[in-house]
Chains A and B, each alone.
Chain A
């Protein structure tokens, strides 16, 4: 079975500050890893994904994430956040015989002026 743990349920930061949203996963097979963002009353939008290759993955809106196999982590980072980055962020995993995405419980990022 696969599982995802998002270590922080809420992360408040000030505008233009850096941010890191933490994600750890558990899987007995090779994984594909994803970060999605959900704005209020909307569906999920793909930020970035790791399938294979370089462990540093760049996504949309200036976000990036690093796959660390030894620590089973896939933390999301942005060097300088904007008010518009306020949203819920979900880490997800798939792989092996699993077509499905298994999501974490989400991290609410709140960017304050």
Chain B
């Protein structure tokens, strides 16, 4: 049984560019959440998608947007990248918004 998968594993961008990160949830899961983990910090909640809608959003600017597809996979888009967007981006999936979240390995984004 495949767990949560994310792609790519690593990414290097320059300031002002746009990036798209992808997440496939664990089999049977229908809810995807995204987190940003800066170096030396705990993960910070970006948003959660359920039934293809944004269910809850954390304290992140509108440059961060997302999408959930009918097969429950999800994308995180970040526009106008800043140096401070450099972080590990984690995707977590659950069956329903309230269940235990299971995390993928993350995408490490470096903005130069």
Enumerate 9 A-B pairs (CB-CB under 8 Å) in ascending A order.
A42-B106, A43-B90, A44-B92, A99-B97, A100-B45, A100-B56, A100-B58, A101-B92, A104-B42
Interface size on A, residues (CB 8 A): 20
Alpha-carbon distance A45/B4, docked complex (angstroms): 11
CB distance from B75 to the nearest CB of A (A): 18
Q: Which residues of A contact B55 (CB under 8 A)?
A: 99
User: Would you call A105 and B106 a contact (CB within 8 A)?
Assistant: no
Contact flags (1/0) for B86-102 with A, using CB distance below 8 Å? 00001010000110111
The answer to whether B72 has its CB under 8 Å from any CB of chain A is no
| Distance between Cα atoms of A104 and B43 in the complex (Å) | 8
Secondary structure dominating the interface of B: loop
Interface membership of A67, Cβ < 8 A: no
Within 8 A of A (CB), among B32-88: 33, 35, 40-45, 48, 55-56, 58
**A49 to B45 CA separation, bound complex (whole angstroms):** 19
Structural contact, B43 and A44, CB atoms closer than 8 A:
yes
Q: Establish whether residues B100 and A34, one from each chain, have CB atoms under 8 Å apart when the complex forms.
A: yes
Q: Report if A106-B42 is in contact (Cβ < 8 Å); known contacts: A99-B98, A100-B48.
A: yes
